[in-house]
Amino acid sequence: MTRILVVEDEEHLAHGLRFNLEAEGYEVETVSDGRSAVERVVDRERSYDAVILDLTVPQGMGGKATVKELLATDPEAIVLISSGYIHDPLVTEHARHGFRGVLLKPYDLAELGKVLSAVLENR
């Protein structure tokens, strides 16, 4: 089963994303900040096929710092950026920062499935 780690500080968005991904057959875990994500990825007892990472986490480590730490731990990690800030340089130049794809908020379920399928097929 494909395992996804979702980093989202807004509980209702994390819950909705988890619900929709599980309905598509993914196994999903959620955390509310980047530090927790890094800890889970470093814990080799857990493995994830992809990490969906919220760009902005006001009360914790956000996208820019988290992707650097995740890729330092595992250079092959599949990390997607999730944001509603479509003009942010981390979104517009996501590949330059180590992200494999972009999921724009509000989530479009068809687009979510397309992006995840594309990045997971190319691992």
* pLDDT tens digits along 27-46: 999 999 999 999 998 876 66
* pLDDT tens digits along 65-105: 999 999 998 899 999 999 989 898 889 999 999 999 999 99
Give the burial string for 40-59 (b: 16+ CB within 10 Å, else e).
bbeeeeeebbbbbbbbebee
CATH of the domain at 48: 3.40.50.2300
Q: In this structure, which amino acid lies at residue 55?
A: L
Handedness of CA 42, 13, 101, 91 (dihedral sign): negative
Instruction: Note whether 82 and 56 are within 8 A (CB).
Output: no
Instruction: Note whether 5 and 29 are within 8 A (CB).
Output: yes
Domains held by the chain: number: 1
Residue 62 belongs to domain spanning: 3-121
